[in-house]
Chains A and B, each alone.
Chain A
Amino acid sequence: MNIKIDDLILTGKGFMAEEVDWLDDNFKMIANQVEFLQVKEKQTNTPIGWFVNGYMTVMADLTVHTTKGMKGKSIKKELQYTLILDTNLRLKTIIPEDLTDFDIEKPTAILQKILSNNWKKVNLKDSDTDISSLVLLSTASDTMLLQEENQTIWISSEDGIFVLNKKNDKLTMVSKNDGILNINGDQDIQLGNGEIRIDGEVFNPEKIIQNISQSINKAFKSMKFSFD
């Protein structure tokens, strides 16, 4: 099933999250007294995620251990309005059984803003595998987070791009503050001709994060440089 990002609407149902402290491996969400409004696909009428109508703090430890010491960084960010796409119901532990009705006029406008902002072309694939993924899109400029079983991806115009492959304990960074690219410090990295080559092979972000490749391109463009 493919999710069309601009085909999402609010159902009008939701719940008030009193105190959310959701942790999964290196990713954490903290929210207090915020509305979680249910989001569904318009065509299939299938619930697909939540719109957080308020402030929420997200944290991700995008760090790996190397012989030269720790590489990477921890990210902590407060997002005001966030769309959470939870294709495999990973957040079920924080969701109550009964949802209540909410006024969705203002949240709908905000949601549409998010969808039409930078992530319009995002093509999320709900793959046939059982891998659960959690995608966070926000009104915060070009911020996207994908959290899966084996990888965490953070795309932000402020911080750069971080891809943590937990399975192989490898970190890919296109970091704004810490340098251009750093992958555990072990690989031979060459930059030039609009390409990034790692150990002689052209670095292709699509290979690593296939289902959000367009989002990465979008993020690159918004970061005022491109690899075209």
Chain B
Amino acid sequence: MTETNKETIDEELSRIKEEMKEIKELLKDKRDNINDEDNFDDSEGTSRNFKFDFGTTFDDIDIDVDSLDVTINQYLASVMSGIKNNFAVNMRQFSRDFSRFGKDATREADRIKREAERVKRDLDREKRRISREFTREQRDIHRTFKNKFKHYKTESVEYRPLEGEELEQFFESSPALASALSDSRRLKLLKSLENGPAYQGELSEKTDLKGGTFKHHMDILLQTNFVYQEQTRGRYLITQLGVEALKLVEILFRRLENETKSEEIAVNVTFDEDEADIDVVEEDEDLSSKGDN
């Protein structure tokens, strides 16, 4: 049977279905109207057989029309079954596809993971290489720099405990340094120079030190290198040592001030504790007096 024939048959079957529906309606009406002459057997339920006369010949198709016997319910059942089967087949296929997709996705994720690990390893390797090269470069720069400036000295001050000859020198010369800071007028001079260089006149005005007094105190500061005097213009500048000395005195002052405050707080705390003791005693007395009563 060719495809064309099949389509034709399907069309005919559809048409037949429609006709069957009409016939069924007619038969139902007839049964309702003429009960005695009814040839139907209701006991057969919904399963009914019909014979059809198409009133024509199907010479062009290879089918025996007379023998065509269609059971509607069987047909519909077979259709439903087909759909069901199709659905089941599709679901199985989908399930298989989904499973395959899942496996593929897992495999792809593993591949990406491996690739990421490889990239990470490469990056780490590159990082180590760059680090090594950078260190080498730094070393070269340092060496170049060292060679270029080998004629120059850089001084670094390192704190270490004084001992031996240095300690003796400390005892000998440090009192002069401390002494230079032991006068409020000299501290005023240093503080005035903290903001910038100044001529004698400007400093005298700021500190009220004039003539011989100014010279006396300034000489002490110059001798201890806390202050420097220009050779040309004669301006006075505070040196790095002078700034540090001034800071040192300021730090000591602040520390002393804070410690004094701390002692005051400690005294207040003790006073509060005494008060508390007195309160307790008073309560006891109250209780004992009540007991007596």
Interface size (A, Cβ < 8 Å)? 29
Return the CB mask of B230-248 against A: 1 if under 8 Å, else 0.
1111000111111110000
Find chain A residues with CB under 8 A from B237 CB: 63, 65, 69-70
Find chain B residues with CB under 8 A from A65 CB: 196-197, 237-238
Partner of A225, one of B148, B155, B232, B233: B148
- Asked if A109 is at the interface (CB within 8 A of a chain B CB), the reply is no
- Asked if A76 is at the interface (CB within 8 A of a chain B CB), the reply is yes
- Asked if B149 is at the interface (CB within 8 A of a chain A CB), the reply is yes
Tell me the minimal C-beta distance from A228 to chain B in angstroms. Answer: 11
CB pair A26–B154 under 8 Å, yes or no, is no
- Give Cα A159 to B141, complex, Å: 25
CB pair B152–A69 under 8 Å, yes or no, is no
- A65-B238, A192-B144 are known contacts. Are A76 and B149 too (CB-CB below 8 A)? no
Which of B142, B232, B237, B241 has most A Cβ within 10 Å?
B232
Find chain B residues with CB under 8 A from A193 CB: 141, 144
- Asked if B151 is at the interface (CB within 8 A of a chain A CB), the reply is yes
- Asked if A200 is at the interface (CB within 8 A of a chain B CB), the reply is no
Report A54-75 residues with CB < 8 Å from chain B CB. 59-61, 63, 65, 67-71, 74
Find chain A residues with CB under 8 A from B144 CB: 192-194
Find chain B residues with CB under 8 A from A177 CB: 153
CB pair A225–B149 under 8 Å, yes or no, is yes
12 interchain pairs (CB within 8 A)? Answer: A26-B233, A28-B232, A60-B232, A63-B237, A179-B153, A180-B152, A180-B154, A191-B145, A191-B149, A193-B144, A223-B151, A225-B149
CB pair A61–B233 under 8 Å, yes or no, is yes
Q: Which residue of A lies closest to B153 (CB)?
A: A177
Tell me the minimal C-beta distance from A205 to chain B in angstroms. Answer: 15
- Give Cα A200 to B231, complex, Å: 35
- Give Cα A26 to B233, complex, Å: 6
Find chain B residues with CB under 8 A from A223 CB: 151
- Give Cα A224 to B244, complex, Å: 36
Give the top 5 A-B pairs by smallest Cβ distance, nearest first: A69-B240, A69-B243, A192-B141, A70-B237, A61-B230
Interface size on B, as a range, is: 20 to 34
Return the CB mask of B244-273 against A: 1 if under 8 Å, else 0.
100000000000000000000000000000
Q: Which residue of B lies closest to A73 (CB)?
A: B228
- A193-B141, A224-B151, A225-B151 are known contacts. Are A63 and B230 too (CB-CB below 8 A)? yes
CB pair A59–B232 under 8 Å, yes or no, is yes
CB pair B239–A69 under 8 Å, yes or no, is yes
Find chain B residues with CB under 8 A from A194 CB: 144, 148
- Asked if A25 is at the interface (CB within 8 A of a chain B CB), the reply is yes
- Asked if A27 is at the interface (CB within 8 A of a chain B CB), the reply is yes
Find chain A residues with CB under 8 A from B152 CB: 175-176, 179-180
Partner of B231, one of A25, A28, A180, A224: A28
Report B103-161 residues with CB < 8 Å from chain A CB. 141-142, 144-145, 148-149, 151-155
Q: Which residue of B lies closest to A24 (CB)?
A: B232
Tell me the minimal C-beta distance from A176 to chain B in angstroms. Answer: 6
- Give Cα A25 to B153, complex, Å: 31
Tell me the minimal C-beta distance from A225 to chain B in angstroms. Answer: 5
CB pair B240–A61 under 8 Å, yes or no, is no
- Asked if A23 is at the interface (CB within 8 A of a chain B CB), the reply is yes
Q: Which residue of B lies closest to A224 (CB)?
A: B151
Which of B231, B240, B242 has most A Cβ within 10 Å?
B231
CB pair A74–B231 under 8 Å, yes or no, is yes
CB pair B148–A70 under 8 Å, yes or no, is no
Return the CB mask of A204-228 against B: 1 if under 8 Å, else 0.
0000000000000000000111000
Q: A61-B232, A65-B196, A180-B152 are in contact. List 6 more A-B contacts (CB 8 A).
A: A26-B233, A69-B239, A69-B241, A70-B240, A74-B230, A179-B155
CB pair A23–B151 under 8 Å, yes or no, is no
Tell me the minimal C-beta distance from A70 to chain B in angstroms. Answer: 4
- Give Cα A175 to B154, complex, Å: 10
Find chain B residues with CB under 8 A from A23 CB: 232-233
CB pair B238–A70 under 8 Å, yes or no, is yes
